A and B are shown apart, each in its own frame.
Chain A
Amino acid sequence: MAAISIYLKIIRKSLYKLRDSYIIYVLASVFAVAVLTLLAMLVVDPTLKTSHYWNISFQQVMYAMVFIFAFFTFVYMAYVGGFFIEQQKNEFRTYFKLGMSKFTIALISFLETFVVQLISWIIGMLVALILQKFVGMLLVYLMRIDLTFKFYYSAKVVWIMLQVGLYSTLILSLFNGLRSYFLVRDKHKKKHLYNHWLVRSLLGVLGLLLFLTGVILTLQLLTMGRNYDTLDQSLVMTLVIAILYLFGSYLVFKGFLPLVLEILDRLKIFSYRGTNLFTFKYLHKRLVKNTSIIWFITELSALAVAVLVFCYAGYQVVYQDYQNSYSFELAANKSQAQEVEKQLTKQKTHVKGRYHTPIKRTVSEVWDYSENAYVPRLVSVMSNSDYQKLPQRLTKKNPPLKSGDFLEVKSELSALTPNYNDTRHPIQVKNMPKIATRKVGSMFPYGNRMYSCYMLIVPDEYYHQIDSEASDTFYGWDVSGADHFSNAVIKKLQQKKHRYYLTVNIGSSLDKSTITKTKATKLAYGEYLKTNQYVQMSFVRQAVTKNVVRQATGFFLFLITIFSISLLIALGSLLTLKVLLRDDFEWRQLKTLKKIGASEKEIKQIVKRETSLLFGLPMIFALIQSFLIVGVLNLSLNTPKVGAFVLIGLSYVVLYGLTGVLTYVLSWRGVADKL
């Protein structure tokens, strides 16, 4: 009984002694658990589920995210939880020397972890319940859904989370119990060859070379042309750069930076100045001791910044494409134009503007970069004068055209393919002169859903000479406010019977290729459209697309925000704990320095340098490495998106810098208290 009381006292004392660090760990864990619970609750939320705005895909993505988030939460808790056992290493070893069994020591750390984990899960779930409505409202707001989000807690989710929490707590406690079980014996450290200073320094120099090679290749990636010839090469290169960065940065941290500090230490001109003699050695030790963690944080931060830049740039492209495809609220072809007009009159919809343009369709040959050959494709053609009659707000999104200019219009999303802007290969339109010089744009008049394949704006003279094989007229309406169409009307307008197929029948030559127009039929299960077979839409309500884009972008914005904040908190807390959890040896050193005559200001300076090093290194290396994404974007989106990188990078620096400052303040407070 007395023994149990002593064990409990030891646990209580340990928790108290490490309270500052434990509070940071618990807060970060509470946040992670709260987010996990919130995501799980949103998956089953009845308000969202019953709303017709809530797409099933959103629910599935959210469901997948719950698992991904749970995995990372567990990894974080397991990894960081180990710090506290490491911190108590000497204490456990003393207990062992005094006769305490390894099992008892393991039991003590098991219980200590159990208490901390349980507190984190319980508080985290309570926070989730408190924030449930707020987070739901945030999601609804970001998705711009007109919905009143109601507070809801699912007993089932709470029960599942409690079970997950309990299992996780038990597993992590067991982890830490085992850690301390194997930690108590003084092990003679194996002298690895790479720990020899010369080998380590050589590896460090090699690491620097690898890293610099990565930087040079990244810059080269930015200047690489985007075509199929270089695509494979550039993909391999991206992979190579990532590997170079991965190994290079580790070796730089492990060998090169300690070497720099070693050199500075040896150069008396630097080291014989104030506290430098001590600082260089102190930082050297701190760096070598924390190499793995700094490297881990660097790589994860680089990945986070890169993913954020990629998502942001992707969002911009989707948004741009949507902007470009959205021309009129309502668009239709000849077959449905009258019906739309009738419904507009019936619904007393205020129509601001009506437009219509004749379209010719024929066969053309375009260069296929993947096959390195000309392939026959359907082309929709509009005359320059008809094009110029359209509202300026549409035409200004494409390059300006003179009466004799040709314009090739391709979807903005096709910008994801290489050679988007490449006009080296002329376009051959059936029975017409080759179009050698042309401009490239992405704004489809009447919206890209009205078109199949690509379109051309051609000079009037050229247009008149084209022998159309399937002509049509496109109509567009600009309405003021809503169109007031009921679901029944929309269903009627969208009936498949009004659509038709356009099939390119490939002949032995372009002249012998033709287009057949057939009635659209319902495809049987497993049946797909053939190559060079296209569907012509009869009616498109583009305002709906607008809402879908808004909702999707809002939804992903919500997830990315949640994930990036969580990642920042996790990494920030990781570094903060690494700075705060100095071992006894490090504390003693700072104390001794003060006794010898170093002023508080000088010791403060050491703490500042230490925090700057531990925060600055991951920040600088993460930013350099994540710049690779700019090269990747250059290849995939045909635009380097440097602006997006600068924006995300700056936000990362600001947020990380603030965490660093906060850590410095906490760290100095801790040091000052102990001095």
Chain B
Amino acid sequence: MQIIVKNIAKDYGKKKNAVHALKDIDLQVAQGEFVGIMGPSGAGKSTLLNAISTNERPDHGQIIIDSIDMTQQHDKTLAQYRRHKMGFIYQSFELLDSLNVKENIILPLVLNHSSKKVIEERFDHLNRLLDIGELSHRSIDDLSLGQRQIISAARALINNPEILFADEPTGSLDSKSATILLNYMQIINQREKTTILMATHDAFTASYCSRVVFIKDGSVFSEIVNSGDRNAFFEQVINMQRTIGGGSYFNIP
């Protein structure tokens, strides 16, 4: 599914104290691409993801997905689109505390009125893949941060989304869990041709992407394309981070 972002901007706050989170950003993501978005804190990564995933409307500009201008669609259509075509791994997990683990994961399918059979099949599949069987009947309150991240990812993947958005998906995970999740994302990207947009601070995580776009102060600063050599790409990402600056990670002399 191709994504074209044209000249979008987003401000927060009132005139006097307005913060320009996005400034006329242009971006194109081809179908089946795995794009990373990097940049220092406050650069606008999450805002960009929220805008493309239709969770927030930009102040101006166009977001064209599958030849449809999302900025012109009604809320109801956008909700349908999010539900059917998109998955989102949120930085803050966004899990519903009143539901247990399994219910949280299957919720997108339930909202889609999928059949009980499909729901159970998809859940079993993810259960095997992410090894979350033991957690399925536990309450969200009883999970560690890492477990919550995995559940959030499972929920994003349950409806086989055509586009997957991930905001710091490995931020709370240990290296083993992070690797499992990233490998899975890579698999669905390669096999299912799922388009993935992932915001991250972590160069290792970014090294799974086919391209990384760097943004700074709400504008696209640069981008690097993965030539196929992951180690070289990792080095390129690190170098670009040093160039762009910001945050302790970026200020290594």
Which residues of A line the B interface, CB within 8 A? Answer: 268-269, 271-278, 281-282, 285, 585, 588-589, 592-602
Residue of A nearest to B119 (CB): A272
- B55 interface contact, C-beta 8 A: yes
When the two chains form their complex, are residues B75 and A600 in contact, meaning their CB atoms are under 8 A apart? yes
Least Cβ–Cβ distance between A591 and chain B, in angstroms: 8
- B98 interface contact, C-beta 8 A: yes
Given A597-B82, A597-B108: A592 touches B95 (CB 8 Å cut-off)? yes
Contacts of A268 in B (CB 8 A): 116
When the two chains form their complex, are residues B76 and A599 in contact, meaning their CB atoms are under 8 A apart? yes
- B235 interface contact, C-beta 8 A: no
Q: Hey, what's the 0/1 contact readout for B31-62 against A, CB within 8 Å counting as 1?
A: 00000000000000000000000010000000
Contacts of A589 in B (CB 8 A): 96-98
Contacts of A276 in B (CB 8 A): 110
A-B contact pairs, 17 of them (CB 8 A): A268-B116, A269-B116, A272-B119, A274-B113, A277-B99, A277-B106, A278-B98, A278-B107, A589-B96, A592-B95, A593-B96, A597-B82, A597-B86, A598-B83, A599-B75, A600-B76, A601-B76
- Among A277, A601, A602, residue most surrounded by chain B Cβ atoms (within 10 Å): A277
- B155 interface contact, C-beta 8 A: yes
| Given A277-B106, A599-B76, A601-B76, 14 extra CB contacts under 8 A | A269-B116, A272-B116, A273-B110, A273-B113, A277-B107, A585-B97, A589-B97, A592-B95, A594-B79, A595-B90, A595-B94, A597-B79, A599-B75, A599-B80
When the two chains form their complex, are residues B116 and A278 in contact, meaning their CB atoms are under 8 A apart? no
> In the complex, A274 Cα to B106 Cα: how many Å?
11
When the two chains form their complex, are residues A278 and B99 in contact, meaning their CB atoms are under 8 A apart? yes
Contacts of B75 in A (CB 8 A): 599-600
Contacts of B108 in A (CB 8 A): 596-597
When the two chains form their complex, are residues B90 and A600 in contact, meaning their CB atoms are under 8 A apart? no
- B18 interface contact, C-beta 8 A: no
- B11 interface contact, C-beta 8 A: no
Contacts of A592 in B (CB 8 A): 94-96
Contacts of A596 in B (CB 8 A): 82-83, 88, 94, 107-108, 111, 155
> In the complex, A281 Cα to B111 Cα: how many Å?
15
Interface residues in B, total, Cβ within 8 A: 26
Residue of A nearest to B156 (CB): A596
- B26 interface contact, C-beta 8 A: no
Contacts of B223 in A (CB 8 A): none
Residue of A nearest to B98 (CB): A281
When the two chains form their complex, are residues A277 and B79 in contact, meaning their CB atoms are under 8 A apart? no
Given A585-B97, A595-B94: A274 touches B110 (CB 8 Å cut-off)? yes
Cross-interface CB contact of A598 among B111, B116, B119, cutoff 8 Å: B111
Residue of B nearest to A599 (CB): B79
Residue of B nearest to A285 (CB): B98
- B24 interface contact, C-beta 8 A: no
Residue of B nearest to A600 (CB): B75
Q: Hey, what's the 0/1 contact readout for B109-146 against A, CB within 8 Å counting as 1?
A: 01101001001000000000000000000000000000
Residue of A nearest to B114 (CB): A272
When the two chains form their complex, are residues B76 and A281 in contact, meaning their CB atoms are under 8 A apart? no
Contacts of A585 in B (CB 8 A): 97
- B103 interface contact, C-beta 8 A: yes
Residue of B nearest to A585 (CB): B97
Contacts of A269 in B (CB 8 A): 116
> In the complex, A595 Cα to B155 Cα: how many Å?
12
Residue of A nearest to B90 (CB): A595
Contacts of B155 in A (CB 8 A): 596
Contacts of A274 in B (CB 8 A): 110-111, 113
> In the complex, A288 Cα to B88 Cα: how many Å?
32
Residue of B nearest to A272 (CB): B110
Q: Hey, what's the 0/1 contact readout for B143-164 against A, CB within 8 Å counting as 1?
A: 0000000000001000000000
Cross-interface CB contact of A595 among B55, B97, B119, cutoff 8 Å: B55
Least Cβ–Cβ distance between A609 and chain B, in angstroms: 15
Least Cβ–Cβ distance between A674 and chain B, in angstroms: 14
Contacts of B96 in A (CB 8 A): 278, 589, 592-593
Contacts of B79 in A (CB 8 A): 594, 597-600, 602
Least Cβ–Cβ distance between A461 and chain B, in angstroms: 85
> In the complex, A602 Cα to B112 Cα: how many Å?
12
Residue of B nearest to A593 (CB): B96
Residue of B nearest to A265 (CB): B103
> In the complex, A627 Cα to B29 Cα: how many Å?
67
> In the complex, A282 Cα to B110 Cα: how many Å?
16
Q: Hey, what's the 0/1 contact readout for B54-89 against A, CB within 8 Å counting as 1?
A: 010000000000000000000110011011001010
Contacts of B55 in A (CB 8 A): 595
Least Cβ–Cβ distance between A475 and chain B, in angstroms: 81
> In the complex, A405 Cα to B202 Cα: how many Å?
106
Contacts of B82 in A (CB 8 A): 596-597
- Among A272, A276, A585, residue most surrounded by chain B Cβ atoms (within 10 Å): A272
The 6 closest A-B pairs by CB, nearest first: A597-B83, A599-B79, A597-B82, A281-B98, A592-B94, A277-B110
